[in-house]
Structure 1
Amino acid sequence: MGQIELTGVGLSYFTLKQETEALRDINLSIDRGEFISIVGPSGCGKSTLLSLVSGMLKPTVGTVKIDGNEVTSTSPKVGYMLQHDHLFEWRDVLSNLMVGAEIRRMDRGKAKHKALELLQRYGLGEFAHHNPAQLSGGMRQRVALIRTLVAEPDILLLDEPFSALDYQTRLTLSEEVLQIIKDQGKTAVLVTHDLSEAISMADRVMVMSKRPSTISTVYSIQFDEGDDLSPWKKREAGRYNEYFNAIWKELE
């Protein structure tokens, strides 16, 4: 059994006039430490799927389980990284890193120690007392990821976290974020519109269909050159174009 299990999951929205079926018969198993990418047409419900895993939404039918327990509300086991960093401009970097820990009422001293340790480890130690406005877009997103990690989740949900960045920053940050997630031993689910990003970061890519959406195909991403390639090297690997063209064709 995977760390995350969705079984027969469907979601419908109800209004006085009609029922709109958004997701249908989603079956998904994600192992501990696995990195999954989800791609699909705009509006197909990729972010909705993340909301179901996080417990912010409940399925109309089916079950969502984490570690064998049904998800009935939001869980401290799950952390979110969004498109916008949502850093508080009136707090310095270190104070921003404490937000999740404060909400979860964690031991403040322990959380501060972890925040400083992660800042140092990932090249931001000298920026602990800078304001967010003094940081580049890529640095702000790294701070947002560290803020999520300080709250000690087991699972990271990444909802288009690089899409607001310029292309070069996006490439660099995707490399850094993947390294941090693997280094921390986290399970990750990435929603993205960028096929290159999806293929180069993930162990598996899941393709969603148009609404009512289901998972139409799952691609297990493996390269003859080995499993330890960086995202940049994966883009140059032999089977990269094969995966890209197959997924692109499916989404057309």
Structure 2
Amino acid sequence: MAQIELRDVGLSYFTLMQETEALRDINLTVEQGEFISVVGPSGCGKSTLLSLVSGMHKPTKGRVEIDGREVAGNSPKVGYMLQHDHLFEWRDVLGNVTVGAEIRRMDRKKAEGKALELLERYGLGGFAHHNPSQLSGGMRQRVALIRTLVTEPDIMLLDEPFSALDYQTRLTLADEIHGIIKDQGKTAILVTHDISEAISMADRVMVMSRRPSTISTVYDIRFEEGTGLSPWRKREAARYNQYFNAIWRELEGHVVFAR
């Protein structure tokens, strides 16, 4: 059984004057442990797709399911990581990574134990009682990821989580966060404008069309060098440029068609 399934999903926005169709006939199946990247023209509804999976939006047509059950409201099985870390400056790192658990009324001691374990495991053990202002941008995003992991979601939704970082930090953090998500056995959907990021992090790359947006192509990312490559190593792989050029040409076609 697929962990995530969207069947004939459509979404429209309504005003007193008109209907605006954002998504049309979206069909997608994501297996447990899979990493999917989503790219498409600006404004095509990539982040809206994540909102449907998370339960923040309800489709006007079709059905969204997690583990065979229709999504109805925010699901505890889903964790969200945004572009900005949204850390509270008046709380230390440990206080920040347990805030989601507090909101969900999880056992406090269990949540703190899980938080300290994850901080130690992923190189932040010595920063549990530091303030967020004492951390680099990459460290802050790792804290944001650990905050999400403490709530023990099965699915990670990543909405351009590296776009606010400088390029070098972005490359390094992509490697780190990809490794953490795979290590934790999570299913992930990443929305990004960066084709390189999409290819290097994903098992499959999904290209969305202009509005009303649908899935135009899905690329299975396979390298002759084998499985288990880090995002950095994938960028050096022989087929990387083939994938990049194919996705670039397709996106350029959607943009030109829309003009």
TM-score, with length taken from structure 2? 0.97
Corresponding position of 2:255 = none
Could you tell me which runs of 5 or more consecutive residues in structure 2 were left unpaired when the two chains were aligned: 253-259
AA paired with 1:210?
Answer: R
Identity of aligned residues (%): 82
Q: Matched residues in 2 for 1:61 and 1:73: separation?
A: 16
Residue 228 (structure 1) shift: 1.4
What is the Cα-based RMSD across aligned positions, in Å?
0.4
SS of 2:118's partner is helix
Q: Matched residues in 1 for 2:117 and 2:126: separation?
A: 12
Corresponding position of 2:72 = 72
Corresponding position of 2:197 = 197
Corresponding position of 1:176 = 176
SS of 1:248's partner is helix
Which contiguous aligned blocks of 4+ residues in structure 1 show a shift greater than 2 angstroms? none
Corresponding position of 2:39 = 39
SS of 1:113's partner is helix
Q: Matched residues in 2 for 1:225 and 1:185: separation?
A: 22
1:217 correspondence with 2:202: no
Corresponding position of 2:88 = 88
Corresponding position of 1:18 = 18
Corresponding position of 1:159 = 159
Q: Matched residues in 1 for 2:146 and 2:208: separation?
A: 29
Residue 98 (structure 1) shift: 0.8
Q: Deviations over 1:8-60 (max 9, x none)?
A: 00000000100000000000000000000000000000000000000000000
Instruction: Name the count of aligned residue pairs.
Output: 252
AA paired with 2:245?
Answer: N
Q: Matched residues in 2 for 1:160 and 1:35: separation?
A: 14
SS of 1:116's partner is helix
Corresponding position of 1:50 = 50
Q: Matched residues in 2 for 1:95 and 1:68: separation?
A: 35
TM-score, with length taken from structure 1? 1.00
Q: Matched residues in 2 for 1:19 and 1:13: separation?
A: 6
SS of 1:12's partner is strand
Corresponding position of 1:208 = 208
Q: Matched residues in 2 for 1:14 and 1:39: separation?
A: 25
Q: Matched residues in 1 for 2:234 and 2:205: separation?
A: 14
Residue 229 (structure 1) shift: 1.2
Corresponding position of 2:257 = none
Give the alignment of 1:102-141 within 5 angstroms.
102-141=102-141
Could you tell me which runs of 5 or more consecutive residues in structure 1 were left unpaired when the two chains were aligned: none
